[in-house]
Amino acid sequence: MDEHAKIPRDLIGKLFDLGVMGIEIPETYGGSGATFFHSILGIEALSRVDPSIGVLVDVQNTLVINALMRWGTNDQKQQHLTKLAASAIGAYALSEAGSGSDAFALATRAADRGDHWALTGRKLWITNGNEADLFIVFATVNPEAGYKGITAFLVERGADGFTVGKKEDKLGIRASSTCELLFDGCRVPRASVLGEVGKGYKVAIETLNEGRIGIGAQMVGLAQGALDHAIKYTKDRKQFGKPIAEFQAVQHQIARAATDLEAARLLVYNAARLREAQQPFLTEAAMCKIVSSEAAERVTSLAVNLFGGYGFVKDYPVEKLYRDAKIGQIYEGTSNLQLQTIAKNILG
């Protein structure tokens, strides 16, 4: 999957069969009827094997389904949640060429055409772009209004004027598609506004705050997978007549990595617990994302080192996990933005 940069469709079908593509969707819509914390546990477990699958499930649950559950009308829920639970994949289209960290500097426009909206613009870095059937697209209806002009729209694949463009050739999580989206007067029914016109910024902010916990879970799972491989290898690999796991220097490095990872995991779980208890969690979500993404980079780097020369070749899994880890400090809010969020909250 990494080499071909593609997730097999039959594997996606198995994810739906497992129920992990609609974890929080109520059973009345065909979902699993579980909780946000269960989503986090699922993302972590899947990322332990392949973070590309972890982020597919993460975007589906913590961004797309979460936004629909909170902001969707009854008709929108009935129409889309049933599909997302059964076979449809969702994508979250916020980023643009000129609006990365400055998320609301959107150039994509939505023009009121009376019976519908017409979307024109270009989105970049959209996870699940190749596979998605439903896209939550953010555009501004009034550039002069700043963030108060931003509106969220539900756009289905195949809509007139909508094209999925170039798929990025990435360093890591290569099986997960990352694409540009092109809108040329894309026709969107008035009933497909998610939330209220001009309140898209609220949809985006509140959803991304929860999505960051999902990325934290992805990074924790990824790092655990790398550490598992490293522990097994150090028990099997012999040098100077004994397994390298018996050398104190190796033991101490593994102990440090395990401690690093457990601290990150507990930050993720705490943020998820607070969100589920409907307590403030913005600071904790930022903390768990920055700590888990940095821990993942350190732990996967150690795993490569412990594998020696074998860690640098594709015959063994740790070089892939090392590449996969880097994105954690970039997407859904860079580490610098997380630090800014934390500082702003604790300093008032």
Q: Which residues does the annotation mark as catalytic?
A: 332
Side chain identity at residue 51, one-letter code:
P
Which candidate, 170, 101, 109, places its Cα nearest to that of 138?
109
Measured on CA atoms in the order 36, 40, 41, 42, is the torsion positive or negative? Answer: positive
With residues binned 3-state (H G I as helix, E B as strand, rest as coil), the percentages for the chain, rounded to 5, are: 55, 15, 25
106/100 Cα distance (integer angstroms): 9
| Residues ≥6 apart with Cβ < 8 Å to 276 | 35, 36, 37
Paired tokens of 163? 């094209």
Which candidate, 124, 2, 87, places its Cα nearest to that of 53?
2
Q: Are 205 and 199 in contact (CB under 8 A)?
A: no
177/5 Cα distance (integer angstroms): 7
219/338 Cα distance (integer angstroms): 15
Judged on CB neighbours under 10 Å (0-12, 13-18, 19+), 280 is exposed
